[in-house]
Each structure stands twice: as C-alpha cells, then as structure tokens.
C-alpha cells in the first residue's frame, strides 16, 4: 500500500534553502541612516546658532538710552573722556584722563533723530561740539551750548569687538585720541575715520565696575 505524501512537507521544501540561512543579513541601511541622522543633527545645530546670532544682532540695534549716564573709555589708552578742569564754561576742551567717575567724565546721549545723537556732559549740561564747525583733521572738540547743530551731532556705531566709534555729522570724522597718546590730559580731537583702536571706546554705565562687561546691547550696531 502506498503511503500518501505528508501535506506538511511540500515536495519543493527540501530543494530550497531557508531564506534566513541563505546569506548574511544586510544591515548597511543602518549605517546610511546613522550618517543621515548625524548630518541632520549638525544642520539643526548650525541653524540654531545662526538664529541666536541673528537675535543678538537685532538686540544690539536698539537705540541708545537718553536717560542713563556713561563714562567713555578709550580702547587704546584706557583713559576716560574728561572735560578739562571740570569746567562748566563753553569752550572747555575734551581730553582723556584717569577714570574717577567725576561728573565731568559722565555723558549721556540725546536723540537728534535720523540716527544722530548729541553727547551731553553731566557736569555742565553742555554738549560736545566740533569747534568752529571745522571739517579739518585735528580740530578741537569742546563743550558748548546745545543748539542741536550738525557739528554737535554724532553717529554711535558698534564694531564686532563691542567697541564704539563716534562720527560727526558735519565733518564725517571720528572722535580720536590725538597722536595715539596714552597720557592723561591729552586731547580728544576729530580725525578721518580709520577704525583704529585710538578711535574705539567702551561705554561703562556710571557706578559700574571698570572691570565689568562694557558691551552695551542698547547702542546702535554697525
């Protein structure tokens, strides 16, 4: 008597290899997936850093306070803007001097509109003025009655290192530590804008430590 074939063992079963034993498994897709994930993560980090930088730049673009007082310190010499002799008279010149936070070393920004500011001296109430409307290199900077005139108006610009330059509206020239001096009592004058360190200044809020961060986020950025 013939035995019927076992229905659970098809005739073709013995002629085929099991699919799980025919070759080593291919997991290369996992490596490709990992590389793609790493690239995506890097892109997210870069985009986030760019967004933070953009937001910081926008914060720095805010206009200056017109109520706070600051000392203005030269990057080159480490000395502060100072009205000579603590004078309250018109014509008293602007010099650099050791920072002792006298009121003749304290200044605030008065908005003249269109991105220009006058720089007012706390001690006298007068403003910084390019003497006799000069447009020459080396012209004297003195304090004078506030007429909101073009020779009393300045742009306030911050560079990437956090220092500030002040450029006169009338002459187009920058406040400059004359002759690169590091001597207390020497003058601040106007000079062709070069971006050099003797034309760069820190703004330090009155009462703050001179060692504190003087990079203000409330002054107009480049």
Tokens of 87: 């004078």
pLDDT at 42 (0 to 100) = 54
pLDDT at 66 (0 to 100) = 81
pLDDT at 207 (0 to 100) = 84
Q: Where are the alpha helices (DSSP H) in the chain?
A: 28-60
pLDDT at 20 (0 to 100) = 45
Strands (E), the chain: 70-74, 80-83, 94-97, 107-113, 116-121, 127-130, 141-144, 154-158, 164-168, 174-177, 188-191, 201-205
SS3 101: coil
Tokens of 46: 């870069």
Vertex 213 angle, CA 184 and 86, to 5°: 30
Per-residue confidence of the chain (222 residues) as pLDDT tens digits?
Answer: 455 555 444 443 444 444 444 455 555 655 565 665 555 555 544 444 544 444 434 334 455 678 899 999 999 999 999 999 999 999 999 999 999 999 999 999 999 999 999 999 999 999 999 999 999 999 999 999 999 999 999 999 999 999 999 999 999 999 999 999 999 999 999 999 999 999 999 999 998 754 434 444 344 443
pLDDT at 67 (0 to 100) = 85
Q: Where are the domains of the chain?
A: 30-60, 63-205
pLDDT at 40 (0 to 100) = 53
Decide if domain 63-205 falls under CATH 2.80.10.50: yes
């Amino acid at each position: 008597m013939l035995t019927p074939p076992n229905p659970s063992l098809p005739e073709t079963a013995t002629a085929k290899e099991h699919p799980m034993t025919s070759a080593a498994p291919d997991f290369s897709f996992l490596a490709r997936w990992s590389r793609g994930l790493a690239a995506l993560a890097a892109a997210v980090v870069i985009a986030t850093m760019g967004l933070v930088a953009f937001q910081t730049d926008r914060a720095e673009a805010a206009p200056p306070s017109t109520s706070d007082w600051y000392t203005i310190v030269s990057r080159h010499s480490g000395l502060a803007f100072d009205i000579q002799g603590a004078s309250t008279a018109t014509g008293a010149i602007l010099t650099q001097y050791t920072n002792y936070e006298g009121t003749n070393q304290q200044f605030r920004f008065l908005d003249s509109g269109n991105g220009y500011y006058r720089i007012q001296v706390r001690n006298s109430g007068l403003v910084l003025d390019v003497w006799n409307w000069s447009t020459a290199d080396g012209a004297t900077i003195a304090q004078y009655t506030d007429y909101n005139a073009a020779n009393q108006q300045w742009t306030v610009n911050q560079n990437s290192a956090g220092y500030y330059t002040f450029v006169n509206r009338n002459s187009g020239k920058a406040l400059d530590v004359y002759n690169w001096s590091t001597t207390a009592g020497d003058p601040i004058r106007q000079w062709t804008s070069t971006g050099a360190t003797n034309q760069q200044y820190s703004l330090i809020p009155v009462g703050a430590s001179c060692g504190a961060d003087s990079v203000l986020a409330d002054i107009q950025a480049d």
